[in-house]
């Protein structure tokens, strides 16, 4: 059985979804905070992260021709990316002051 080129790309994109969500959500939030809505209330950021994770997962499901993944995991990976960014920011402030 040979895999067609689109099947390999689809499988690769489906496998990379957690990484894309974890790195993509903080990048989207950074873009929104700097370019689109600089005075975004900070209260909205923890709410926006899981929602952006769900939207990115849905979009990647459309492009990879794979079914949309687990919605709970998509929300988790979206929030995880923001949490990791916050941990790095706090470490920079505390260690490199």
Q: Rounded to two decimals, what is the model's pTM?
A: 0.75
> If you average pLDDT over residues 52-80, what whole number do you get?
81
Cα 44 to Cα 48: distance, rounded to the nearest angstrom: 6
pLDDT of residue 97: 62
Q: What is the pLDDT of residues 77-94, one digit of tens each?
A: 889 988 888 888 888 888
pLDDT of residue 35: 92
The count of structural domains within the chain is 1
> If you average pLDDT over residues 23-30, what whole number do you get?
88
> Angle CA(80)–CA(86)–CA(87) in degrees, nearest 5?
90
Domain that holds residue 64: 5-95
Calculate what percentage of the chain has a pLDDT beyond 70: 86
Q: Which sign does the torsion angle of CA 18, 23, 25, 26 carry?
A: positive
Question: What are the CA-CA distances from residue 9 to residues 3, 15, 21, 33 (Å)?
Answer: 10, 10, 17, 32
């Amino acid at each position: 059985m040979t895999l067609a080129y689109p099947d390999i790309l689809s499988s690769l994109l489906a496998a990379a979804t957690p990484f894309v969500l974890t790195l993509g959500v903080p990048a989207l939030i950074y873009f929104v905070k700097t370019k689109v809505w600089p005075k975004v209330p900070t209260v909205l950021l923890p709410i926006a992260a899981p929602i952006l994770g769900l939207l990115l997962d849905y979009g990647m499901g459309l492009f990879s021709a794979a079914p949309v993944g687990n919605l709970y995991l998509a929300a988790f990976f979206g929030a995880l990316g923001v949490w990791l960014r916050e941990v790095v920011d706090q470490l920079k402030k505390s260690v490199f002051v």
